[in-house]
Structure formats: structure tokens, C-alpha cells
Amino acid sequence: MAMANSQSTNLAPTSAEATNDANDHLQKQPQAFDSLEEKIKLDIEHAVVENDPRIWSMTRKNLVLCIISGASMIAGLSANIQNPANAQIEQELHASSGDISLSLSLFILVQGNFPVIWSAVSEIKGRKLVYLLSVALFTLGSVIVAISKTIGLVIGMRIVQAAGSSAVIAIGAATLADIYEPHQRGTMMGVYYSAPLLGPSIGPLLGGGLTQGLDWRAVFWFLVIWGAIIFLAFLILFKDTFRRERSLTYQNVLKRRIREQSLAKSKANSQDTVIHPSAEEPKGTKNERAPEVQDLEAQATIPVPSASAIKEVTLSLADVNPFPPYLKIIARKNNFAILVPSGLLFAFSFSIAYTCARTLADSYQYDALKTGLVLLAYGIGIVAGSILGGRWSDRTLARLKAKHGGKSYPEMRLESTKVAMWWLPPSVIGYAWVCQERVHVAAMCVMLFLAGFFSIWIYTSTLAYIVDANVGRSSTAVATNSSFRGASAFVAAEVAVPLQDAIGDGGLYTLWAGLLIIAQLLILLVLYKGAKWREESEAREKLKSESQ
């Protein structure tokens, strides 16, 4: 199968001498934009950059991984840590259960969709600025929630929290793509993503302990402290991993700006020529012919945006429009087909933690602390599945790459999901009827562990695929994934309790098992058809770009 060069993961940087020679040649020989397109499409991930993050030491890379993992815990914790405090919030702020439900569902909706904006900003201004702004926003929102005296203010500031905590969801994975080669990403994605996924388990545990030991406001003061620590870590220890030469979004905006400047200059020259005819023009011919009408768009020659051009043309936030990149991601059939199961897997994770807490409180009469301890089984399963699933994903990719003579393509990674697909639906059905029949809580813990383990095993590979299949647009792709997750979790949060009351845990999670089977079938469809779809999309995008 002929695969696009831009997706080949066996590409390695050339020798320093050859690369520097090639780069000098490029800067000495201005070319048309078509040449730029070819070079970007060829291997944008390995474009020559200063202080290449890919060649940083492992110590430095691991420091980056630790910081963004710690930051990603903000997203997981803040979504679930409020649950044990809801009763106190209702009583003290005279709120209704509908108000509490609204604060939770709006939080997850905003947290899922706001990364599209953060991602667009990060592709122009870099990762570090976005991290600092978003964590500061989250910390400010947490402070105001902690001192709020009305439920309306709590809801409003929870939305601010959601917007602030959402950035790392999108650009955290993009940061890993900045510093790790494709064959390393599965393992690192697994390590990174285990942190936010601890939220559904340790969030209620922490929230329950703080609420019972102090009060509900202590929950949000804890988030203030955590946010301040992460802010200082980004400010002092984090060095930006973003490189403009490796961002398709940045390069496309830069090309547009250079084109606009070139056209403006050409128009000015044309007007100047009409107003001031050449002194060398023979007398008597000055008025004999009308000035030629020229197609400035066609005649404008746009040079390759070299390093000097990038420095001369400064892009601003006015150049940020998150929607065209977002639409480009979902316009690809392979992306859309993988984003749907990704959203379903996350919605399932959110639903099971939410409804399990309710089942334990109503049917087992567990308090907030005991509920958190039971949900810890789910969290342990998530962490184990994320780490082991990520390693298995990289191992599968390496095995298939060797089998194909050292060549690989993103869809190979999805082969690793097959082993978990056999076990996830039975685990979910087992959980459904253990809860329905009120079996001993130990059986519930086992089913929670298995459901978490196999669901995140699959999700880790789908997330790595989304990054690998969208070279040069990794943060936008992950932000789009987050948008699908947020919308799916919002719907799951709104329908979970009514369905649980109507058909019980047995019916609800049997239904979820069916939805997860559909999700798995979509993943298999991408595994076998995704390469063809992706290549067709790339060819179509290239043709459109060349025609502009």
C-alpha cells in the first residue's frame, strides 16, 4: 500500500551537515509557494528548527512530561471533586438539585469545547503562554468559587474553571508530539493520560475527606493551591516546545500574510507605474496605449517563508481563527470515524463514575469517603490500562513496522485495540448486573477495575492515532477530540440519572455495552479503511491549496 510520506513514521532527521546545507540552499533560493507546500507535506515533523525538542535529554523530556501530567490532573480532579460536597452546597447556598446538575453538566461541556480556542492560540503564540494563561484563569475561578455566597456565582465561576482547566487536555498531547517521535508516543500518552483519568476515582475521595474534615469550601481552596503550584512549575521549569516551522496552522497563516503583503506591494507598484510613466518611453507614445490591466494575484511571486521571513512577519491573535482548522479535522472521514468512538469511551467513563456514586449512596448507604474508596478501584484500572495499553500500542506499532520493512503508518497503531475489544463489553455487562442485583461491593470493585482497564486501553491507542494521523495539526486534532468528548459527556450526564431511574443499572449499562460495541466497530473500520480515506483527504487538501 502506498502511504503518504508525511505520515511515514520511519523518517529520521538527516545528518546535521546535510541538513544545514539543504537549509542554507533553501534560504538562498526563494521559491514559489508550491515548493513550500511540497516541503511541508514531505516531513513537517522533522523540519529543521533551533533547539529541537526532539533531541532534548530524557531528563528534560521527563520533566516536561511530569509538569503537563500534573497540570492535566486539574482537569480530571475539578470535574469530580465537587460531587461529595453537593449536599453541603445545596444546604448553605439554598440551591436545588437542578442547580447542582447544571453546574456539573456545563462544566464538562465547556471543558470539552474550549480547547479548540486554546489550541488555535497555541499554534500561533506557543504552548507556554497558553499554559500560563489557562492555569491562571483556573486558579482565579477556584478562588471565587471558594468565597461564593450564591449558587449563581458558583455556576459562573465553575464555567471559568472549566475554560482554564481545558487547555492542557488539548495541548498536553500536542506537547508530547513536539518532543517525542511517533514510535514513542503510545507509551508516553499512556503515562500522561493516566493523570487526568485519576480524577473520577481520587476526586470523590479527596472531596469527601475535605468536606467531612472541614467544609465544601476547602475542596476549592485545595484546587487553588494545586493550580498555583502548577502555574509556578510552568513559569519556572517549563521551556516552550512549540516550533513554528512544524505547525501547519502557523505556516498557512504565515503564507496568507506574506501573500497579502506581496499583493499590496504589487498594487502599490502598479499604481506608481500608472502615475509615473517611464522616462525612457518614446515621445508620442505616452497616450497611445492604455495601461495594461494586470492580474496581481497571478503575478505575485511568494517566496518560501524562511527563518528570516518568519521573524519579519509577526502574527497576532487577530490571525487566530479556530474554526477552519477544526473543520479540516472533522472533514477527514478517518478522523470523524475515530472521534465518535473516542467520545463514547469518555462519556462512558464519566457516566459510570457519576452513577456508581449514586448507587453506592442509595443502595449501599455509603458515605462520601467510602464511595471514594470504591471508585478508587476504577481509577486503579484506568491507570494500569493507560500505562500498559500505551506500551502495548508502541510494541504493536514496532512489530508491524518491522514486518513491513521498516515502514509504518498511523492506522497500524489501532491493531493494539483488538485484544481489549473482546473483554470490554462483557466487563460492562458484568458491572451492570452486579449493581442491579446488589451483589457484594467486592464484586463491584472487580467489575469497575476491568471496565476502567479495558476502556482506557482502547482509548489510549485512539488518542495516539489522532495525533499521528494529523501531522502538523496535533493540538487542533486533540482539541477536536476534546470537543467530541465534552459533548458526549454532557449528554451522558444529562440522561444518566433519568435512565438509571427508569431501567436501573442493569438496563443502563447493558445499553452502554451495545454503544461500546458500535464504537469498537468504528475503530476497526478506521483500522482497515482509514489509510485510504486519509490519503484521499491529503490529496484533496493539497490540490485545494495549490489552486489558491
Q: How many Cα neighbours within 13 Å face the side chain of 81?
A: 32
What's the grid cell of residue 260? 497579502
* Residue 53 neighbours by CB under 8 Å, 6+ apart: 61, 178, 179, 241, 243
pLDDT (0 to 100) of residue 28 = 41
Give the residue-averaged pLDDT of 405-416: 82
pLDDT (0 to 100) of residue 284: 47
At 153, list the grid cell: 456565582
Report DSSP state, residue 32: -
What pLDDT band is residue 232 in, cutting at 50, 70 and 90? very high
Closest CA to 151 of 104, 200, 218: 104
pLDDT, residue 369, reads 73
Q: Please state, for a pLDDT cut of 70, what percent of the chain lies above it.
A: 69
Question: How much is the pLDDT for 270?
Answer: 64
The four Cα atoms 174, 176, 180, 186 give a dihedral, to 10 degrees, of: -100
Residues 6+ apart with CB under 8 A from 512: 348, 351, 352, 428, 432
522 or 412, greater pLDDT: 522
Q: Is the pLDDT of residue 29 over 90?
A: no
pLDDT score recorded for residue 475: 67
Q: Please state the rounded mean pLDDT for residues 131-158.
A: 90
What integer pLDDT is reported at residue 298 of this predicted model? Answer: 35
- Of 285 and 51, the structure prediction assigns the larger pLDDT to 51
Please, what sign has the CA dihedral across residues 122, 125, 127, 130? Answer: negative
Please tell me which of 348-362, 459-473, 484-498, 520-534 the model is most confident about, judged by mean pLDDT.
520-534
Stretch 421-443: mean pLDDT: 91
| Residues above pLDDT 90, as percent of the chain | 12
Which pLDDT tens digit goes with each residue over 42-72?
A: 455 555 556 666 677 778 888 888 888 888 8
Q: pLDDT at position 26, please?
A: 38
* Lowest mean pLDDT, pick from 13-22, 207-216, 379-388: 13-22
Average pLDDT along the chain = 74
Mean per-residue pLDDT for 102-119?
80
Given a cut of 60, whether residue 436 has pLDDT beyond it is yes
Tell me the C-alpha to C-alpha distance, in Å, between residue 280 and each of 235, 283, 284, 286: 62, 9, 12, 11
> How many CA atoms within 13 Å lie on the side-chain side of 277?
13
> pLDDT at position 542, please?
74
| 292 φ, ψ (degrees, to nearest 5) | -70, 140
More confidently predicted of 56 and 332: 332
Sign for the CA dihedral angle at 152, 158, 164, 170 comes to: negative
pLDDT surpassing 90 at residue 429:
yes
pLDDT tens, residue by residue, 162-218: 888 888 876 777 777 777 776 666 666 666 766 666 666 677 778 878 887 788 888
**To 10 degrees, the CA torsion angle through 15, 16, 18, 22?**
130
CA distance 531 to 135: 37
The pLDDT score that the predictor gives to residue 25 is 42
**Arithmetic mean of pLDDT, 144-165:** 88
235 or 323, which is more confident: 235
Q: Which residue has the higher pLDDT, 128 or 277?
A: 128
Higher pLDDT, 255 or 385: 385
* Per-residue pLDDT reduced to its tens digit, 492-517: 877 888 888 889 889 999 999 999 99
Nearest CA to 196 out of 112, 115, 75 is that of 75
DSSP H stretches of helix in 166-247: 167-179, 182-194, 199-213, 216-236
Least confident interval from 3-7, 66-70, 107-111, 503-507: 3-7
For the chain, how are helix, strand and coil distributed in percent, rounded to 5? Answer: 80, 0, 20
What average pLDDT does the segment 28-55 reach?
A: 50
State the average pLDDT over residues 6-20.
39
Q: Measured between alpha carbons, how far is 459 from 443 in angstroms, rounded to an integer?
A: 24
Looking at the chain, how many residues does it have?
548
Q: How confident is the model at residue 299 (pLDDT cuts 50, 70, 90)?
A: very low
pLDDT at 252: 62
pLDDT at 547: 63
Q: Predicted confidence band at 255 (pLDDT cuts at 50, 70, 90)?
A: low
pLDDT at 292: 39
